Structure 1
Amino acid sequence: MIPVYENPVVLLPYTFGESSKLKKEICFQPEWMEMIQDNTVSILGWIQYEKVKWLLRQSAFHLGRTGAVPKGKYAGRVLQHSAKEYAAGV
């Protein structure tokens, strides 16, 4: 059975210490540190996945802006030629 609390406690991942300016402290909650350590592989995998998605979006955006994506009356031939090269393993 899951316990029900009248006043649930929400633990923040970290809090700031009492020091000021350049000596600011960050205090991590032990429960959050344990959760991050237990799930490090999944967290790093998610970060890599999001990075790849971002890079692909950026590449598509820049290809479209620079004209590297074939356009015009020869676009079909260029794309067809590229597909043949890919299929041939060139």
Structure 2
Amino acid sequence: AGLLLGFSSSLHCFGMCSGIASSLHLAAILGPDRARQGLLAATVLINTGRISAYMLAGAIVGAAGSTVFGSFDHTLAHAILRWAAAAALA
């Protein structure tokens, strides 16, 4: 189930991140200095920033979700979270 969930959410990642990542990489390759030596550094910086932003957003949402989850009946909360995850992926 986790593998299928990962494959289905990869379309979201491709649609949301590919344009931004491509434009940043093309700017690094075709920029005014056209220094290809900086391509690896640009790639590392772009992906480090992207992953750090996802980690920070996940930590904030996880902290908020854990406080909300604790205030509900766990059976009801599990059902709500499953439907929210399904809606988000759809």
Fold equivalence (TM over 0.5): no
> Normalising to structure 2: TM-score of the pair?
0.43
* Relative contact order higher in (CA < 8 Å, ≥ 6 apart): 2
Q: Which has the larger radius of gyration?
A: 1
